[in-house]
Amino acid sequence: MPAPSSPVDARPTALQLFGIFARIGLTSFGGGLSGWLLREFVRDRAWITEEEFLNGLSLAQALPGVNVTNMAIWIGHRLLGFRGAAAGLAGIVVPPAIFIVGLSAVFTALQRFPATHWTLDGAAAAAIGLSLSMGITTALRVKRRWRPLAIMAATFVAIGPLHLPLVAVVAVAGLGSIALEYVRLRRA
């Protein structure tokens, strides 16, 4: 089981993790969940450090699947091992999935009213703001080193202007980044 980032008496239970992830999943619309996770686990509860969170976020974004689900698994595992990973995954997926099924039935019944669309537009704007906030926080806090910046720029050019296949570019850039970081850490 991984060592906690905070004192042992401050470690959450699996039920607490489930509740936190369920609350975040049920109250976040259209994205921006990384910002809520950062606030909840780093700033408010200090169960993991900001550096740990950003490393986990990088890993979650590099792995296949939904980023927030990957983050729930990673944070849960970081705090409570397998039980925490299962609680995080169940909390972030099950209650929101049940809610979405019910909401879709309501939305179908109310879609002819303009207020329904205004509400969804407002939720989308809030989600964009949360995502932007997370992006700015990450950009300001991540250490600037020339190799990762060069890989990021090369990836952008390869996918954007050159229109190279996304999967191939990400695979090469990802493996290259891992290899360079491994070499850097071995030398340090």
What does pTM read for this prediction? Answer: 0.62
Are 17 and 87 in contact by the 8 Å Cβ rule? The answer is yes
- Gap between the Cα atoms of 66 and 16, Å rounded: 22
Structure tokens at 42: 């780093």
- Gap between the Cα atoms of 165 and 167, Å rounded: 6
- Gap between the Cα atoms of 58 and 52, Å rounded: 10
Spans of all domains in the chain? 8-142, 145-188
User: What torsion, rounded to 10 degrees, do the Cα atoms 152, 73, 42, 2 define?
Assistant: -110
Structure tokens at 150: 């060069």
What is the pLDDT, as a whole number, of residue 92?
95
Q: How many CA within 13 A on the CB side of residue 46?
A: 5
User: What torsion, rounded to 10 degrees, do the Cα atoms 33, 50, 17, 4 define?
Assistant: 160
- In terms of residues, how long is the chain? 188
- Gap between the Cα atoms of 187 and 115, Å rounded: 59
Q: How many CA within 13 A on the CB side of residue 33?
A: 25
Q: Hey, what amino acid is at 18?
A: F
- The residues, any chain, with a CB within 8 Å of residue 15's CB and separated by 6 or more, are 87
What is the pLDDT, as a whole number, of residue 6?
45
- Gap between the Cα atoms of 77 and 79, Å rounded: 5
Per-residue pLDDT of the chain (188 residues; tens, 9 = 90+): 444 444 444 789 999 999 999 999 988 765 668 888 999 999 999 999 998 998 898 888 888 888 899 999 999 999 999 999 999 999 999 999 999 899 889 888 888 888 888 888 887 888 788 778 877 877 777 777 788 788 888 998 999 999 999 999 989 998 888 888 888 888 88
What is the pLDDT, as a whole number, of residue 30?
59
